[in-house]
Amino acid sequence: MSDSQRTNQTRVLVERKYFTFAAPPDEMILDCGTRLGPITLAYETLGELNQARTNAVLVLHAFSGDSHVAGRFGDDDERPGWWDNMVGPGKPVDTNRYFVICSNILGGCSGTTGPSSINPETGKPYGLTFPMVTIKDMVRAQKQLIDHLGIAKLMSLIGGSVGGMQVLRWCADFPEMVGSAIPLATTSRHSAQAIAFNEVARQAIMADPAWNNGDYYDGPGPTHGLAVARMIGHVTYLSDDAMREKFGRRLHRDTLSFDFTGDFQVESYLHHQGQKFVNRFDANSLLYITKAADYFDLERGGGNLLINEALAGVPFLVVSFTSDWLYPTYQSRDIVSALKKNGSEVSFCEIEAQWGHDAFLLPNARLDGLISGFLDRVYHERRL
């Protein structure tokens, strides 16, 4: 489907919904041992759940994403969801056929319970009193939502980056609910380099005096530190080729400034990205979510949790991108190797793309075809 065809499609309107569970005394027990409740998940759905409840596709977002995966909130809303190029009527994840669910992750700041939420015991934002959460905790909360929707088995799970980690965690923890899975641009465990970049980003926030040990909700907050953290992260999402083509060494002005206001276009771009992020994201959520990603390790304790007889026969589509140096292709190949030991039906593709880690979010005809074809085959083979 061409870009012009997608642009001319009827706009899909969506509504943010909320599901609350784990009210005391039935709080959810987290990996850290703390009990948390009540918990609210913000989520959105597109398409219709069929009568047999067998056509559900769960889309898991990356660390700074949210439940707004596609469509718009109103006719005058010019900003679509973060994966609008992929999800919708007639698109690769076709909502004329599939019932798509996307929820904001636990610890987030877009409607789901996280450090910026009000602690019912104090009447104030949790801040750093919010317990540490893991990818496993996020998935455990998502399962509560899927159970609430009356879905016994998901036709497919799709996610990139931290969303891909959630896909793999679902496969490890609830294999009986996984009909198929598409982990994109992800890993089964963070490398030392990925942990290092996340730690630098966290330190940028915590070094901002306005962070105030996480208790900043009555003031402006650590806007500078959060912007710098986003700038650091954004560098890891791009590639050398992408930066060279997009910016090169082009100047922001006609002449050098001979000061520190920023001379190069790439500097101006990073400042812009940092400021945009400050306007929509909570600094404490960044601390918690990046730490959860660092803790994620399907090989902790020896052995790989993806090696599970319950996953035998489950179809997987694993995709990496040539220019992704945050989660390079060898990490996707490790996932493929583990899955093949189960006898899982694994398709793997490394897509030639110059845009780095963010390539999975951008329009790409090859990725469109892979996902569309994979889901179509799963749909028909299971006679859904």
What residues pair up with 184 in beta bridges, in sequence order?
160, 319
User: At residue 35, does pLDDT exceed 80?
Assistant: yes
Short-list 85, 65, 74, CA closest to 365: 85
Q: Poorest-confidence range of 227-236, 274-283, 302-311, 349-358?
A: 302-311
- Summarize pLDDT for 308-351 with one digit per residue, the tens: 999 999 999 999 999 999 999 999 999 999 999 989 999 999 99
**Mean pLDDT, range 60-77, rounded to an integer:** 95
Fold entry, domain 3-191+297-381: Rossmann fold (3.40.50)
Q: What is the pLDDT of residue 325?
A: 95
Question: Cα–Cα distance between 61 and 379 in angstroms, integer?
Answer: 22
Marked catalytic residue, from 84, 263, 324, 334: 324
Residue 201, pLDDT above cutoff 50? yes
| 44: nearest Cα among 90, 3, 1, 84 | 84
**CB within 8 Å of 193: residues ≥ 6 apart:** none
Helices 283-295, 135-148: crossing angle, 10 deg rounding: 100
Indicate the pLDDT class of residue 223, thresholds 50, 70 and 90: very high
pLDDT band at 221 (very low <50, low <70, confident <90, very high): very high
Rounded mean pLDDT, 62-85: 94
Which pLDDT band holds residue 8 (cuts at 50, 70, 90)?
Answer: very low
List, for residues 76-87, the tens digit of each pLDDT value.
888 999 999 999
User: pLDDT band for position 36 (50/70/90)?
Assistant: very high
Residue 145: pLDDT above 80?
A: yes
**pLDDT bracket for residue 4 (50, 70, 90):** very low
Residues 6 or more apart whose CB falls under 8 angstroms from that of 321 comprise: 185, 329, 350, 351, 353, 355, 356, 357, 359, 360
Which of 10-19, 135-144, 298-307 is modeled with the greatest confidence? Answer: 135-144
Q: State the chain's mean pLDDT as an integer.
A: 94
pLDDT value at 278 more than 60? yes
Residue 215 confidence (pLDDT) above 80? yes
pLDDT at 126 over 90: yes
For residue 324, indicate whether it is catalytic.
yes
pLDDT of residue 23 exceeding 60? yes
The rounded percent of the chain whose pLDDT value lies above 70 is 97
pLDDT band at 63 (very low <50, low <70, confident <90, very high): very high
Indicate if the pLDDT at residue 5 is higher than 60: no
pLDDT for the residue numbered 10: 64
pLDDT of residue 262: 87
- Tell me the pLDDT tens digit for each residue of 364-384: 999 999 999 999 999 998 766
- Residue ranges, CATH 3.40.50.1820, the chain: 3-191+297-381
At the topology level, CATH places domain 196-290 in Rna Polymerase Sigma Factor; Chain: A (1.10.1740)
Q: Give the active site residue among 103, 156, 161, 344.
A: 161
Name the H helices within the chain: 3-7, 135-148, 162-173, 192-206, 223-237, 240-246, 265-278, 283-295, 329-340, 365-381
Residue 336 tokens read as 């493929």
* pLDDT for the residue numbered 16: 97
* Residues of each domain in the chain carrying CATH 1.10.1740.110: 196-290
Say whether 224 is catalytic: no
Tell me the average pLDDT across 159-179.
98
Torsion angle, alpha carbons of 188, 323, 353, 197, to 10:
70
Residues present in the chain in total: 384
Phi, psi of 316 (to 5 degrees): -125, 145
Residue 93 has pLDDT above 70, yes or no: yes
For residues 20 and 95, what is the distance between their CA atoms, to the nearest angstrom? 26
Exposure letters 317-356 (e unless 16+ CB within 10 A, then b): bbbbbbbbbbbbbebbebbbebbeebebebebeebebbbb
pLDDT for 301: 78
Residue 273 backbone phi and psi in degrees, to 5: -65, -40
Tell me how far apart the terminal alpha carbons of the chain are, to the nearest angstrom. Answer: 24
- Tell me the pLDDT band of 295, cut-offs 50, 70 and 90: very high
